[in-house]
């Protein structure tokens, strides 16, 4: 027995000392859930009174809901590039649907969010739309994730467009409605299934699992069961102020000059406004169910207590507000997004109303997972951990959204300020005018508020990166150029 005493003492000395802080894992896993084109039409955000999102709502109850979160860009590629590089669009010059940031020499080797986690021993997995493009990356480019699941996307389609030809080039994405198919045939269902399989089979820990859902991006196709949640006869439509654009600068139209997303006037004339709202709601509830499947699998895996869950949308979406559909604006329907953080170290059932940015996710996850700082280029966001610890804490920075060079929206607690590339401006008091119907920028009495917000305009404001394409707007001081052609104001789409 005496010969075993040294071994016993060695085991005792080597055993970890359990203290009050050991309930929080040193390296928690990360479940990173992205949803495309989802505005604030989520139950816990109250954006639409009829929307049914029980699974996103239950996630909000188990963590912190940021009720005033905003994107860095109202377009997929620049938004996702910003989130995953930790850099503003005005810093990278990524404003359009192209290029993939790795093809820009200056950012070809920048350490992305998943790469940073991989460098700290995480197994990084991705499925669906996480980046915009670059899936999987070319073999001569840095690898973002260790393994990739299904790319997701639209999935099964009808034989022909359901709503018929649309203006702006009759883009095949501009469609919505239901037709005979199964949930299992949809790209988002397959994305959720792959994520569920990884959780069920056991992933090498710690893991960073990213799953990106396509809907409610157009085409908004869903099966009949989801449409049945929103009967047409009782559908509540968005509030629209006729003539809302009369006090907005002409330049505000240039940000979405000639696009496939139909104007409100066309949707009303062709009887498609109500059907779009119904299809958008149905698509949201379908995606919510896929989120629920992944959350259930996480709980069943035994990792719910050691996994940080982040749910976010890349930008919002107009459904008639400001007389348009789609994104590509600097107003609240385009910029405000769902953002939920839950897991170890995050209080449950908490709401934070401070303006925050999706750019903040990179530094927040570094803090929550106790990683070292990102090497190379400094991150431009700010950790949300102080707000997670105290949701009423002061936060000196506003949320800043950029759409093409020189066009910026500044969102503070009470105000939205917009400066366009030609110098024209908008100002809204969201405390009394949450729908942004009255532009106060031309009222001299608001000059002090305008001056306070102008100081937050980005000091770095780069021109479009080489290879920029699609929805790219430039301004040379005299002429606005849309996708390579001068804008002729008289040719504005009605």
Structure tokens at 228: 């049945």
Query: Do 493 and 258 form a contact (C-beta atoms < 8 A)?
Result: yes
Look up 132 and say whether it is catalytic.
yes
Q: Tell me the DSSP string of 43-88.
A: GGGTSSTT---HHHHHHHHTEEEETTEE-S-SSHHHHHHHHHHT--
Query: Do 264 and 320 form a contact (C-beta atoms < 8 A)?
Result: yes
Look up 76 and say whether it is catalytic.
yes
- Active-site pick, 48, 55, 132, 318: 132
158's CB contacts (< 8 A; 6+ apart) are 175, 179, 221
- The position carrying tokens 């996710």 is 361
Nearest to 131 by CA among 120, 142, 144, 150: 144
3-state secondary structure of 279: helix
Paired sense of beta strands 29-35 and 123-128, if any? unpaired
Give one word for 168, left, alpha or beta, with left for phi > 0 and alpha for psi -120 to 50: left
Q: What is d(CA 91, CA 408) in angstroms, rounded to the nearest whole number? A: 13
Cα-to-chain-centroid distance, residue 243:
29
Structure tokens at 151: 């790319």
Nearest to 390 by CA among 342, 361, 352, 345: 352
- The position carrying tokens 């009495």 is 445
Exposure class string for 337-364: b at 16+ Cβ within 10 A, else e: bbbbbbbbbbeeebebebbbbbbbbbbb
- Active-site pick, 76, 220, 352, 369: 76
Q: CA end-to-end span of the chain, whole Å? A: 92
Cα-trace Rg, the chain: 23
**Reduced 3-state DSSP string for 87-130:** CCHHHHCCCCCECCHHHCHHHCCCCCHHHHHHHCCCEEEEEECC
Paired sense of beta strands 356-357 and 69-70, if any? parallel
Structure tokens at 346: 């995050």
Give the largest Cα separation in the chain, rounded.
Answer: 97
How many CB atoms are located within 10 Å of the residue 451 CB?
9
Q: What is d(CA 39, CA 314) in angstroms, rounded to the nearest whole number? A: 9
Strand order in the sheet with 415-419: 399-402, 408-411, 415-419, 425-429
Strands (E), 202-324: 207-213, 220-221, 307-313, 318-319
- Catalytic machinery residues: 76, 132
């Amino acid at each position: 027995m005496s010969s075993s005493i040294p071994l016993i003492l060695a085991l005792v000395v080597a055993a970890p000392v359990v203290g009050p802080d050991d309930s929080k894992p040193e390296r928690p896993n990360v479940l990173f859930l992205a949803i495309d084109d989802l505005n604030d039409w989520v139950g816990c955000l109250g954006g639409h009174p009829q929307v049914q999102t029980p699974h996103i709502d239950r996630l909000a109850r188990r963590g912190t809901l940021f009720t005033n979160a905003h994107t860095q860009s109202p377009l997929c590629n620049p938004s996702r590039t910003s989130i995953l590089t930790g850099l503003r669009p005005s810093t990278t010059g990524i404003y359009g649907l192209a290029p993939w940031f790795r093809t820009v020499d200056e950012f070809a080797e920048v350490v992305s969010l998943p790469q940073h986690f991989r460098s700290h021993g995480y197994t990084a997995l991705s499925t669906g739309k996480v980046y915009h493009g670059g899936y999987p990356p070319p073999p001569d480019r840095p690898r973002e994730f260790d393994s990739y699941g299904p790319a997701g996307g639209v999935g099964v389609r009808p034989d022909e467009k359901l709503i018929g030809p649309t203006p702006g080039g009759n883009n095949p994405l501009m469609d919505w409605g239901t037709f005979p198919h199964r949930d299992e045939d949809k790209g988002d269902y397959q994305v959720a299934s792959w994520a569920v399989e990884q959780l069920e089979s056991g992933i090498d820990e710690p893991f960073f699992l990213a799953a990106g859902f396509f809907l409610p991006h157009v085409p908004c196709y869903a099966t009949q069961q989801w449409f049945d949640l929103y009967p047409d006869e009782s559908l509540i439509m968005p509030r629209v102020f006729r003539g809302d654009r009369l006090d907005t600068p002409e330049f505000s139209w240039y940000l979405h000059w000639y696009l496939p997303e139909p104007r409100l006037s066309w949707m009303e004339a062709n009887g498609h406004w109500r059907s779009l709202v119904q299809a958008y709601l149905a698509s949201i509830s379908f995606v919510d169910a896929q989120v629920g499947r992944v959350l259930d699998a996480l709980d069943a895996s035994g990792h719910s207590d050691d996994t940080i869950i982040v749910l976010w949308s890349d930008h919002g979406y107009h459904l008639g507000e400001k007389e348009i559909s789609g994104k590509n604006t600097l107003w609240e329907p385009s910029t405000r997004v769902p953002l939920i953080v839950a897991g170890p170290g995050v209080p449950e059932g908490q709401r934070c109303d401070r303006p925050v940015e999706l750019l903040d996710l990179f530094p927040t996850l570094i803090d929550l997972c106790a990683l070292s700082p990102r090497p190379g280029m400094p991150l431009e966001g700010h950790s949300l951990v102080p707000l997670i610890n105290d949701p009423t804490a002061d936060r000196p920075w506003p949320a800043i959204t950029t759409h093409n060079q020189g066009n910026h929206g500044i969102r503070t607690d009470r105000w939205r300020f917009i400066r366009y590339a030609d110098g024209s401006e908008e100002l809204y008091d969201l405390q009394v005018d949450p729908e942004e119907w009255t532009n106060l920028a031309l009222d001299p009495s608001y000059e002090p508020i305008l001056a306070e917000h102008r100081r937050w305009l980005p000091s770095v404001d780069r021109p479009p990166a080489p290879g920029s394409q699609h929805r790219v707007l430039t301004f040379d001081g005299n002429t606005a150029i849309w996708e390579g052609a001068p804008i002729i104001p008289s040719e504005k789409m009605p």
